[in-house]
Amino acid sequence: MGKRRSSKLLAGLLLAVLAAVCLVAPAAAQGSPPVDAVPADLVLLAAPQGEGGLQSDAAIISPRPPSAAALPAPPQSYIVQTGDTLSAIAGRQKLDAATLAALNGIANSDQVQAGQTLRLPGQAARPSALPPGGPLARVQFWPWPPKQGQTLVVWLRAAAALSPTVSFAGQAYPVLGGDRQGYALLPVPGLLPPGPQALIVAAGGQTVTLSIPVVAGVFEFGQVPAEVSDPILGQTTRVQAEADRLAAIWAGNSSLPWTPHLRFRSPLDVPAQHTAPFGSRRTYGADPTIVEHTGEDLSVAAGTPVLAPAGGRVVLADLLFERGNAVVLDHGHGVFTCYWHMRAIDVKVGDTVSTGQKLGEVGSTGLSTGPHLHWEMHVNGVAVDPLQWLEAPK
Ligand SMILES: [Zn+2]
């Protein structure tokens, strides 16, 4: 194979397998991440007097349900004022400048002019109603609009017993529930470009396509020195074998009872510094490839107990080359949580664990520069932000 292909393959390999590597981030990144205001949900009805009832379902399903005190919709556009700069506007809207520029097709950020109308993320192709006479009576989304790295929950109610199926951003996902109503957990990849993505619901021989405006998350950026990463990441065969082993686990979809009637709890009983948040971008050594950090790094003292955030079954408990002492829990229906770099493991494959049960102890095994728990969550094969699933992120 040619050199170009080799380098492309190498870049792909790095993207695929480095994503989970954890390091304790520099002091500048320490401190708890900002907790977002409660996001809104969105309900679509086939008719003004459409069927209700899914709110009560929503109230008992993780991740966190729609709030009765949902915030008003964010502003949809902004008119550039004299003296404005793109970065200043982006900062006030809690966006990064590159996202705002991309959303408005602006190649040169110096080109914004007073009087110009800028599109903001909330404006992207918001669906307002379901097609009348179609197969769906009601659709509810939470959160709305979804951000990169979140789990988008979609509740569906069909007009008749139609067993709907769902695809989002080109991937099919299972619908849990009965013939007439159910819900799907749609992972929004952290590296999925912001902008409209198609949600296609098929039911009763018909399809309904809705445009979902994926909003850019705000992610910090870091660089990992080569002397830290290369000794492990240079061994590409071992790194790839580990990634393949984990990907096979995350592709599972067991019928375990899961915990639809409970929020997840924190895996730690003590306050932790969030030293590398989920979704932060990083590069390793001299390689310019931007990699997503696919978990949340929680820095606490070595030996701190690591606790199951919800009931599940242990599907991996092993010393891994890159991730150190590792445990993966299967919570059922494509929901997995993962615990890397521990100094000790207290469970074994096949164990059934309950909420709060000790899984092991925080350590610094594998590719890690200090004691911390890398907590990772996968939903239907995609890494998502685990903090969204907590009762109260901390
Ligand atoms: Zn990490």
When divided into structural domains, the chain yields a total of 3
| Same domain for 235 and 356 | yes
pLDDT at res. 299: 95
Question: How remote is the CA of residue 276 from the centroid of ligand 1, in Å?
Answer: 6
Integer Cα distance of 51 and 55 in angstroms: 11
pLDDT tens sequence across 317-326: 999 999 999 9
CATH number of the domain that 45 lies in?
A: 2.60.40.10
Write down the mean pLDDT value for the chain.
77
Section 216-230 average pLDDT: 83
Sign, Cα dihedral of 190, 196, 198, 201: positive
In this structure, which residues have their CB less than 5 angstroms from ion ligand 1?
22, 295, 297, 374
Indicate whether 374 pLDDT > 90: yes
CATH number of the domain that 340 lies in?
A: 2.70.70.10
Section 354-380 average pLDDT: 94
Indicate whether 359 pLDDT > 60: yes
| Same domain for 224 and 210 | no
| Residue of higher predicted confidence among 283 and 50 | 283
pLDDT tens sequence across 168-207: 999 999 888 877 888 889 999 999 988 888 899 888 888 8
Q: Of 146-155, 221-230, 303-312, give the range with the top mean pLDDT.
A: 303-312
| Same domain for 210 and 223 | no
Question: How remote is the CA of residue 108 from the centroid of ligand 1, in Å?
Answer: 34
Indicate whether 349 pLDDT > 90: yes
267 domain residue, yes or no: yes
Section 366-376 average pLDDT: 92
Classify strands 77-79 and 117-119 as parallel, antiparallel or unpaired.
Answer: antiparallel
| Same domain for 360 and 230 | yes
Question: How remote is the CA of residue 127 from the centroid of ligand 1, in Å?
Answer: 36
| Same domain for 232 and 173 | no
Percent of the chain, pLDDT > 70? 74
| Residue of higher predicted confidence among 236 and 23 | 236
| Same domain for 314 and 223 | yes
Instruction: Check: CB of residue 4 under 8 Å from CB of residue 12.
Output: no
35 domain residue, yes or no: no
CATH number of the domain that 98 lies in?
A: 3.10.350.10
pTM of the model: 0.72
Q: Which domain holds residue 91?
A: 77-119
394 domain residue, yes or no: no
Q: Which residues contact 303 (CB under 8 A, 6 or more apart)?
A: 343, 361, 362, 363
| Same domain for 63 and 17 | no
Question: How remote is the CA of residue 348 from the centroid of ligand 1, in Å?
Answer: 22
Question: How remote is the CA of residue 23 from the centroid of ligand 1, in Å?
Answer: 6
| Same domain for 237 and 96 | no
Indicate whether 333 pLDDT > 50: yes
Question: How remote is the CA of residue 291 from the centroid of ligand 1, in Å?
Answer: 12
| Same domain for 147 and 133 | yes
Section 148-171 average pLDDT: 87
State the Rg of the chain over Cα.
Answer: 22
Q: Which residue has the tokens 């110096």?
A: 110
Indicate whether 132 pLDDT > 90: no
